[in-house]
Amino acid sequence: MRAFSVLDSYTYGYCLQEKNLPSGSAAETAEATEQFLSQVPPGEFPHLVEIAAEFTSAGFDFAREFEVGLDLLLDALETWRAPDLPKPRMPG
């Protein structure tokens, strides 16, 4: 049940971001990011402004990053299944 919960949360979060983030060409993404950042006071949210600029300048591929994160999750879940590997400590 824990594995399902982890994968469900990750996928749900991806879907929310995909729906709310601009998609399309790099130019469309840059334009939407500039429009968003024009409403954000940079002095109050300097890290948000920095990461938004990084995403647009680096050609961030949101779908590719989902695959990378999913691979990390699946690899971690595999360690719980494998009888010969040490089990991660669960909080609580």
CB 18 within 8 A of CB 10: no
Per the domain annotation, does 19 fall within a domain? yes
- pLDDT tens sequence across 14-31: 898 888 776 666 677 778
Which is higher by pLDDT, 83 or 65? 65
Which is higher by pLDDT, 88 or 28? 28
3-state secondary structure string across 36-90:
HHCCCCCCCCHHHHHHHHHHHHCCCCHHHHHHHHHHHHHHHHHHHHCCCCCCCCC
Per the domain annotation, does 71 fall within a domain? yes
Per the domain annotation, does 89 fall within a domain? no
Please tell me the predicted confidence (pLDDT) of residue 12: 94
Per the domain annotation, does 88 fall within a domain? no
Rounded to a whole number of angstroms, the distance between the first and last alpha carbons of the chain is: 16
Per the domain annotation, does 38 fall within a domain? yes
- pLDDT tens sequence across 38-67: 898 889 999 988 888 787 776 667 778 889
Per the domain annotation, does 87 fall within a domain? no
Per the domain annotation, does 92 fall within a domain? no
Question: How many domains are contained in the chain?
Answer: 1
The whole model's pTM is what? 0.60
Which residues span the domain enclosing 13? 2-81
Please tell me the predicted confidence (pLDDT) of residue 10: 93
Please tell me the predicted confidence (pLDDT) of residue 42: 81
